[in-house]
Structure 1
């Protein structure tokens, strides 16, 4: 699993990393043990707002944008919010969640998860290994820096919209 911690000023932390496809048996046992402490969250669609930081209208608008992105690129991007990480690293939480949900096409490993934990003031952009060539850690950090001012203002929908559009522009879909 590829993971690199990137600190962003004023308490927003992001990690851009990989969501592995079909690990070997020993790796699968390790992944299962690693993910055991990550709470089960049901995938509720393209946007899963467990932290309740988005209005119904904002969630619908983001979900529509993510659907257009998937239609145009075939890459799947999902947004998840969780109130807190329960002491689990944002790296583990995001990667385990993305793997559990099977984000992206199986044979392409091209999914993207944007995870936001507002109480912990942390986030992660997790990408499948198939996205590495077009959406690197450096690009993920640049996207986080674009999102961060909106998050600092409490505008999570605006920050997520900014992030989705920036990722889309870099991965083959203009807004």
Structure 2
């Protein structure tokens, strides 16, 4: 229940501009993009996804980009949409900085960091490449269906055992005569 605020200024002490309001050279764009990606990794390591990151929610302070507007941040492990939000955040940054350094538009940092996050291997100092190869293996649908069927059978057995413990053995039902089927 604490709100902490700080005035982010530029080198002259004036209010820092949003990224949207500045023009960058290609090298600055690459440097700032790398910095923002590192900040996104740090947030994800803390279990958070910004959820609304764009050039409108990043100020350019004298020491570089400052991410703002975090009230909508989500718990990365508890929110079913966390990956899609992370991907949108990272894609927004790649698209913005890609205006000045076009090679950034094709990077795949979100997929790379999410795979590490899911595996429990994402660290604040993880070296990311921006490259990610999708898993091209076919899903084992039959295997998944066997697992579902086995789980259903186990559940039915547990329910029958519970019912028998509560009400005694079930009485055999009279077969339905063929003319009533």
TM-score grouping bracket, smaller chain normalisation: 0.3 to 0.5
TM-score by length of 2: 0.31
Instruction: Name the structure where strand makes up a greater proportion of residues.
Output: 1
For CA contacts below 8 A with separation 6 or more, give which structure has more relative contact order: 1
TM-score by length of 1: 0.32
